[in-house]
Amino acid sequence: MDKKTIDFLSQSYSKNFVEVDCGKEIPGSPERSIERFLLKSAENKYYLAEKHLKKSFILKNQIAGKLSVLKSLGLDQVNLYYTFSDDSYLAEYDGFYWQISDFIQGTQLKRPEYVFEKEIGLAAADFLVSLKKICSDGLFFEDNNVFSLKSYIFELVRNISKLNPDVFSRIEPVLKGLGDFFENYDNLKLQFCHGDFHPLNIIWEGTDINKVIDWEFCGFKPEIYDAANFLGCIGVENPDSLSGPLAESFLVKIFQEKIYSGQSLYYLPFFVTALRFAWLSEWLRKKDPEMIELEIVYMNLLINNIKEISRIWNLC
């Protein structure tokens, strides 16, 4: 980032940025923007600057607005973006759009050991409980913009069958095992979800949640979506964790608060499995053979043990 850009951002967001700091690790996925920079102000405060393509403006602005609403309704674990004008959170400069937020320094999780930490599960469940209660009245509902994981998987599988027949033959048993889930998918209760809720999209303060980040895929989805993605992501680190203290504490809290319908809970293990298709798609896109192999093995492990997982999670 050059000095002209720094000066522009300082003026646009009424900050006194003085330099780019390259000495700190930035949490979250770098793929949510073209580039990310850590800016230091004259007051020795740090901010995150994200650079976006013009075509991303509407989505990025909508997400920032939704985070502001969630914060105003009491969801403190969101990291807000600064406003550029009355109706925009992004400033345009030299053909790109920029967003500014506070830089939050977090605690690094010890991978993969964290997947057995009870307190991590409790904190994650507490966040989903808070999000559910705030969004229980249909907040942000848009009838024409409800994400269908089922449709996504069907389209993905059609492409895999043509382009990666060897992969298709190995995921075919997973698809068959999800047959009943697909038949009942459209009856699952919906709510606003984070859309990519997992431990690495959280800025941790010890075992407490400071901020939940990377809301790129937020929107209306089946209510169990975030819980399923969270559990699936600890399981891929170590499948034994699905019966460990983190998963147990997470589920106990979810059950106690009664935030999900009985039907949603029944299909939770199936949803965990189905969501792995999105991760498989990511590894195929990146042409990462090691992760493709890991994902296929994990998906088959889940579907082959679906009844045992349901029993361990007290869902049957």
SS3 17: strand
pLDDT (tens digit per residue) in 243-287: 999 999 999 999 999 999 999 999 999 999 999 999 999 999 999
With a CB cutoff of 8 Å and minimum separation 6, the contacts of 215 are 63, 66, 67, 78, 194, 195, 196
Under 8 Å between Cβ of 139 and 69 = yes
E-strand stretches of the chain: 17-20, 35-41, 46-52, 91-93, 96-102, 190-193, 202-205, 208-212, 219-222
What residues form DSSP beta bridges with 220?
A: 146, 192
Q: What is the DSSP letter of 25?
A: P
The region of weakest confidence among 28-37, 150-159, 172-181 is: 28-37
CA atoms within 13 A on the CB side of 153: 20
pLDDT at site 144: 72
pTM, rounded to two decimals = 0.95
- According to DSSP, the residues that pair with 211 across neighbouring strands are 203
By the 8 A CB rule, do 10 and 27 touch? Answer: no
CA distance 230 to 215: 14
Q: What is the mean pLDDT of residues 129-143?
A: 89
Of 208, 193, 204, the closest CA to residue 27 belongs to 204
Walk me through the domains of the chain, giving residue ranges and CATH numbers: 3-102 (3.30.200.20), 113-312 (3.90.1200.10)
Q: What is the mean pLDDT of residues 119-127?
A: 98
Q: 233 is written with which tokens?
A: 């992501």
**Residues 231-251 pLDDT 10s:** 999 999 999 999 999 999 999
Q: Which two tokens stand for residue 274?
A: 């189905």
